[in-house]
Structure 1
Amino acid sequence: MKNDKLLLKIIIIFIVLFSFEDGYAQLGFCNGNSGDPIFTETFGTGTTQTPLPAGTTTYTFSSATPNDGFYTVSSSTAFFDWHDVPDHTEGDTNGKCLIVNADFTAGEFYRTTIIGLCENTSYEFSAFLINLSRSTGCGGNNIPINVRFEIWDDTDTTLLASGDTGEIDAQATPNWEQYGLVFQTLPAQTEVILKMRNNGAGGCGNDLAIDDIVFKSCGDNVTIEDTSNESDVFICETQTPYNLNLQANPDGTIFNTYAYQWETSTDGINWTEIVGETNQNLNINVNTTSLYRVKVAEDAINLANALCNVISDEFSITIVPTPSAPVSNGDITICENENQPLEVTVPTDITVNWYDAVSGGNLLEENNTSFSPENEGVYYAEAISINGNCISNTRTAVTLTFSQSPQVFDEAVFFCQDESVEISANINNMSYIWNTGETTESITVSTEGVYTVDVTNLDGCTVAKTIEVTQLDAPIIAEVYTENNDLIITTENVGDFSYSVDGIDYQNSPVFENLEGGRYTVYVRENSDCGIDTQTFIHFIVPKFFTPNNDTYHDTWRLKGIEFYASSEVQIFDRYGKLLFYRKNKPISWDGMFREQPLPTSDYWYVININGQRRVGHFTLKR
């Protein structure tokens, strides 16, 4: 049996050696879940330089400036022309770091033993390094730093993992850089040896500082999900007891085998193991708000040691109490033309849906503590928890009532030029505010424009009435003239006018067609009795023909209206220029006779002089 164990250990050593043969030059960090540090070296604090414990280094301690092959532990790196940088540890006052001036010969410059590890467990080693040389130093030919990390078993005979930083050149602005290495302990192994070696030669450059050496356990990232792939759930208290079915999902980045122990907590601080729950899945009935997680290790023996296992993400189940019905902010009475929402109050983790019935009914508004309905009536607010969508047992009724607003109607009002007009809200027992500043129901205005009045009833409801006031101007006759047989009137202004030639009968058109010649008084009036204008006009017409056949129609060539002129003279000629008729300052009516003999059908010419104005033309005599 003893020989079998020895053979097994030799086989494992060979497996480990083979596994890391290609990894000796590979650095890296834990790809899974890094635990809390189980070893930390920050090199302390203080303003004095101190040596490392005996056996930690082969270099020589310097309490002053460290030359090649020397080291110091100091809160200051201001040696030679090096960068003066603070240590890496956060929160330190006068924090120290290990400062190394590399020896001319490459080799080991730091080692330490790490104890308290767990067997068959993966770990992550990490440390921060910085190149202290300035990029301008050594004539720009600084030797770069290059450090090798090695993890050995406690016998210092088996190399578990190693890796090189590669060349780290001097920089104008230095930065601490972290380097890491992942390894796994062997069966029955609880200690390892960390070694750091200088790969570069000494000389000008190759000057470095090291800080914050840390060892952590390394395991898989473990998530927890329920059957709906959720990482937390909210359950209404009406759904309890709730059957919770969880599964732990390690990502497989580190562990090859898995051991589980489920835990529960009510505060996230104090955790209790769930007896017998050591499988990947957890299936239990839940009645209270609680948290769940699982400890995971590669070996069941490591589940009891916090340094040897990893903890999954937490899964929370929250039992949500049934929310109370919303609290009404009060029923609302508003005017018809106003908009004021109904409102209720709920806690911050509760939202509100509005319905038209005390139960069931139609959803009118969701996720809103206020609601603005279009119609008055009773509306119902239901509380719903944001987490879990838990519904209140009852709904809160809130009533909206409309107060009737004053009934007013816009108007168009007219007034005559040089007059005024009274305009009114036309509704009693209200309060009034005109845009003129007046506060009576009616006001008198003499300027056209748009007037408004705010009318408010006893309930405080206000509406606005608009009155457009327009001035109507009296007509002004511009011209009266004869065109053919028509009398035509024009005005200087426009308006709702009607026209007359006798002051009795009016028409909408300013044209009086085929009006018999004569003297007329024309009238133009504004149809809303806002004025009238008159003018006398002689409508003088020269007939184009006449038919002296004694049928009483057009028996004479008569110039009606000529008698109203102060002076007139009329001459009629035949086509040869023979004077046939002459009158002066007398009415004209020619019967087509010359020397008591009827003249034949033909065209005849006239010359008319009226008040010094001469008119010439011709007309036709038809038999």
Structure 2
Amino acid sequence: MNKTSFLRFVLYTGIYFLPFKTIQCQVCTGSLGDLAVNITFGNGAGSASSYVPASGYTYISSDCPDDGFYTITNSTSSCFGNTWHTVAKDHTGNGNFMLVNASIEPGDFFLTNVTNLCPNTTYEFSAWICNVMMPENSIMPDVVFTIEQPDGTILGSYDSGPIPVTHSPEWVKYGLLFTTPADNATIVLRMRNNSPGGYGNDLALDDIGFRPCGPQVSAFIRDNADTVNLCEGDTVPTYYFSGNASSAYQNPFYQWQTSINEGESWQDIAGATGTTYASTPPSAVGKYWYRLTVTDEAFAGTTSCRIASNLLKITIHPKPWADAGADRIYIKDFPVTLNGTATGEDVSFMWKPPLYIDDAASLNPIVTPPADMIYTLAVQSAYNCKSSDDVQVKVADAIFVPNAFTPNNDGLNDYWKIPYLDIGLAADVKVFNRWGKMVYHVAAAPVSWNGKVNGIDQPSGTYIYMITFKDNKLPQLKGTFTLIR
């Protein structure tokens, strides 16, 4: 490594040995890019791996390989008298891992060439390992990770030290930092188990990755830090994105990117190749992610060379839903309960005006207005998105039952209706003809009879009605009315 590369390596990487159980590696202290290389061992049925030295370990399809053997699997259990952990899934929970039972003699168990890297670029290498042994007196794996040039020149090395036994399966991240040569980006990744085989020294390996590491890249939305929350239907303004990186790049190339799937994939924004970018986000409900990537001008077209800033997010939140319910009739001395509905993202609600109402903060308050009144159910989400709906409460002294109607299709008085029969009274309404046959029946619903039975006009004459109320809220009503044709 030349002096310039070494200074840049120290400037924006640093070397940290973290004491946490889940991370034991050299860590990039600047900004990382996306995975340039990602070895996951696939999913489905396993097979012999090209990553194992030909003179080293032997593949076997068993989930409990013996000393000197390995397998590719998505789980292992009940091995060697239950001295191994039951490892029910790989590191990410959705694929395979490599399971290695160490040879008696220490040696390499993983070896591969890596070609999809950029020259003169610092990378963070990482791999996840799980000690599958359970007894505390067993031999502990001790893995040395080495990054080499094809001629054997070592670019970086890291020794895991003894990987301890745990009470349950625990995936631990190991890794190191290195810089590719200026004249060749091809490297060799070697993993060697320094401990002897025998009683222990058995491990699972998964998710081997290489990510470019560079100076700290920061991005923000002007006057809004890194997050903006808007509401559906709002006028979406133009936002100004800004970013910066240290002077480690002599000829930096900037590229703004956007994502609509929370960063699973990114698309370059055409023409957005400066440290600032102005944009009017889409108005549709959704989450829109942005970031600034940086690399040397010489590698502008190679995404595996780029490092990326912190993520910026603009969220268009849906409006909450407000439903004040059907219009109601308040028969004096018989209070009405409103039936409001409010849904959305962490909503709050309130009835307005807060008059003649027992609890304005309830979706089902009891109201007793002295005169006709309109109540508004106002709903607001945690992101200040608002919606409202009205319900009219009409006031009547008593239930009025019409004494006649004329179903002749002239548009006037064609239906026998009871206008002040509120649905909250749960009235059961029955109509009988002169011979006592029921010709109309409705329960807890608006009354509207067109003078027909099964589509057949009923004759003119006197009909009898009977109205009863749930829980005897009101006394039973009986009477007659006339059908006139």
Please state which band the TM-score falls in when normalised by the shorter chain. Answer: 0.5 to 0.7
CA deviations 1:453-494 (Å, max 9, x no partner) are: xxxxx99389xxxxxxxxxxxxxxxxxxxxxxxxxxxxxxxx
1:330 to 321, 327, 338: 327
Aligned to 2:3: 11
Tell me, what secondary structure is at the counterpart of 1:179?
strand
CA change 1:110–1:21 in 2 (3 A) is farther
Q: TM-score, normalised by structure 1?
A: 0.47
Which stretches in structure 1 are left out of the alignment for 5+ residues? 1-8, 405-457, 463-623
Whole-angstrom CA distance in 1 between matches of 2:368 and 2:280: 48
CA contact (8 A) 1:332 1:400 kept: yes
Counterpart of 2:37, as a letter, is I
Q: Which moved more, 1:125-134 or 1:27-36?
A: 27-36
2:291 to 290, 294, 298: 294
1:101 to 86, 93, 103: 103
Whole-angstrom CA distance in 1 between matches of 2:281 and 2:15: 50
Counterpart of 1:227, as a letter, is D
Counterpart of 1:38, as a letter, is V
1:460 to 468, 474, 485: 474
What RMSD, in angstroms, separates the aligned Cα atoms of the two structures?
A: 5.2
Matched, 1:159 2:160: no
CA change 1:74–1:320 in 2 (3 A) is closer
Aligned to 1:113: 113
Q: How does 1:345-494 map to 2 (within 5 A)?
A: 348=344, 353-356=350-353, 369-373=363-367, 375-377=369-371, 378-381=373-376, 383-384=378-379, 386=381, 387-390=383-386, 396=390, 398-401=392-395, 403=397, 460=474
Matched, 1:124 2:130: no
CA deviations 1:91-136 (Å, max 9, x no partner) are: 568x752332241xx554542212212342432321314254844x
Counterpart of 1:329, as a letter, is A
Whole-angstrom CA distance in 1 between matches of 2:130 and 2:44: 18
Whole-angstrom CA distance in 2 between matches of 1:100 and 1:276: 53
CA change 1:193–1:203 in 2 (3 A) is closer
Q: How does 1:261-300 map to 2 (within 5 A)?
A: 261-264=255-258, 273-286=268-281, 288-289=283-284, 291-299=288-296
Aligned to 2:41: 42
Aligned to 1:3: none
Q: How does 1:39-188 map to 2 (within 5 A)?
A: 39-40=38-39, 42=41, 56=53, 59=56, 61=58, 70-73=68-71, 83=84, 89=90, 90=93, 97-103=99-105, 108-119=108-119, 120-130=121-131, 132=133, 134-135=135-136, 142-160=138-156, 162-168=157-163, 175-186=169-180, 187=182
CA contact (8 A) 2:257 2:266 kept: yes
Aligned to 1:514: none
Aligned to 1:316: 314
1:199 to 182, 188, 194: 194
CA deviations 1:353-382 (Å, max 9, x no partner) are: 54459xxx9x99866655545542323416
Whole-angstrom CA distance in 1 between matches of 2:353 and 2:14: 76
Tell me, what secondary structure is at the counterpart of 1:376?
coil
Q: TM-score, normalised by structure 2?
A: 0.58
Deviation of residue 215 (structure 1)? 1.1
CA change 1:86–1:281 in 2 (3 A) is same
CA contact (8 A) 1:320 1:390 kept: no
CA change 1:145–1:399 in 2 (3 A) is closer
Whole-angstrom CA distance in 1 between matches of 2:226 and 2:81: 59
Deviation of residue 222 (structure 1)? 6.7
Whole-angstrom CA distance in 2 between matches of 1:17 and 1:459: 83
Counterpart of 1:178, as a letter, is V
Counterpart of 1:313, as a letter, is L
CA contact (8 A) 1:259 1:298 kept: yes
CA deviations 1:199-232 (Å, max 9, x no partner) are: 34x4754632342251142556977555244623
CA change 1:22–1:212 in 2 (3 A) is closer
CA change 1:300–1:99 in 2 (3 A) is farther
Deviation of residue 330 (structure 1)? 1.1
Aligned to 1:542: none
Counterpart of 2:112, as a letter, is T
Whole-angstrom CA distance in 2 between matches of 1:188 and 1:30: 23
Whole-angstrom CA distance in 1 between matches of 2:185 and 2:207: 18
CA contact (8 A) 1:88 1:212 kept: no
More relative contact order, 1 or 2 (CA 8 Å, 6+ apart)? 2
CA contact (8 A) 1:355 1:365 kept: no
Whole-angstrom CA distance in 1 between matches of 2:226 and 2:310: 15
Counterpart of 2:115, as a letter, is I
Aligned to 2:433: none
CA deviations 1:160-202 (Å, max 9, x no partner) are: 3x2222223567x6735423113243345432221223334x4
Asked which structure has the greater CA Rg, the reply is 1
Tell me, what secondary structure is at the counterpart of 2:2?
helix
Tell me, what secondary structure is at the counterpart of 2:144?
strand
Whole-angstrom CA distance in 2 between matches of 1:175 and 1:232: 40
Whole-angstrom CA distance in 2 between matches of 1:39 and 1:28: 18
1:242 to 237, 244, 250: 237
CA contact (8 A) 1:82 1:132 kept: yes
Deviation of residue 37 (structure 1)? 7.0
Whole-angstrom CA distance in 2 between matches of 1:169 and 1:319: 47
Whole-angstrom CA distance in 2 between matches of 1:197 and 1:115: 21
Whole-angstrom CA distance in 1 between matches of 2:317 and 2:40: 45
Whole-angstrom CA distance in 1 between matches of 2:94 and 2:5: 42
Number of residue-to-residue matches in the alignment: 376
